[in-house]
């Protein structure tokens, strides 16, 4: 419990396999679930209907980060947990080149869904996703996985393997195994869509 949300604190936490999530008003908790949810980059499940949905949206990266995190933090959403401190902290990480959004846009140029997370080396730590139109967040996830695979990333962390994410291929792995995968991922260069070949130092 506690600590701050400064960029250095957040990056050190992800490198240590930990992430923040508020635990009540004014209290910040740091989590390292066991089992840990990941989506194997070769294990994403894309149904026929989802594949058809992929053709209906245009994908952009980092063109509307503020809109994505605001939508993810909409207090009207069930289980909303993204507060103003989280928004400010991850917006700062985005400005510094560490936090990124993947967005699905409809044919009228409206933001239909998306996700955001943190990229360090070959790790992408997904934080949250949202949709305003059918399958839009899933389409953003498909695009993310395709980009990570193409760039040689090693690990897509989704924190918990919820039923929704499990339907897309997420699995739960033990904490020790997660740390093994994390160690490998942190040694890789950051994928081009998320900052070129910058080292994770």
> What does the domain layout of the chain look like in residue ranges?
34-194
**E strand or H helix that includes residue 139:** helix 136-151
Supply the CATH classification number for the domain 34-194: 3.40.630.70
Tens of pLDDT, residue by residue over 35-84, are: 999 999 999 999 999 999 999 999 999 999 999 999 998 877 766 778 89
How many whole angstroms separate alpha carbon 61 and alpha carbon 32? 28
Q: pTM (2 decimals)?
A: 0.91
Tens of pLDDT, residue by residue over 87-113, are: 999 999 999 999 999 999 999 999 999
Nearest to 7 by CA among 71, 97, 100: 97
């Amino acid at each position: 419990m506690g600590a701050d949300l400064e960029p250095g604190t957040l990056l050190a936490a992800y490198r240590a396999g930990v992430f923040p999530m508020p635990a009540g008003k004014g209290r910040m908790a740091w989590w390292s679930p066991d089992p840990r949810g990941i989506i194997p980059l070769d294990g994403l499940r894309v149904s026929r209907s989802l594949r058809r949905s992929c053709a209906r949206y245009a994908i952009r990266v980092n063109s509307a980060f503020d809109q994505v995190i605001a939508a993810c933090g909409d207090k009207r959403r069930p289980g909303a947990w993204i507060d103003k401190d989280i928004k400010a902290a991850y917006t700062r990480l985005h400005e510094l080149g560490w936090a990124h959004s993947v967005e699905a846009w409809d044919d009228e140029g409206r933001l239909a869904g998306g996700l955001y997370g943190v990229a360090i080396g070959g790790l992408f730590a997904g934080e949250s996703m949202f949709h305003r139109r059918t399958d839009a967040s899933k389409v953003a996830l498909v695009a993310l996985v395709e980009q990570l695979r193409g760039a040689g990333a090693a690990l897509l962390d989704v924190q918990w393997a919820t039923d929704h994410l499990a339907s897309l291929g997420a699995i739960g792995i033990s904490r020790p195994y997660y740390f093994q995968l994390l160690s490998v991922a942190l040694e890789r260069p950051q994928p081009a869509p998320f900052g070129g070949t910058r080292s994770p130092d």
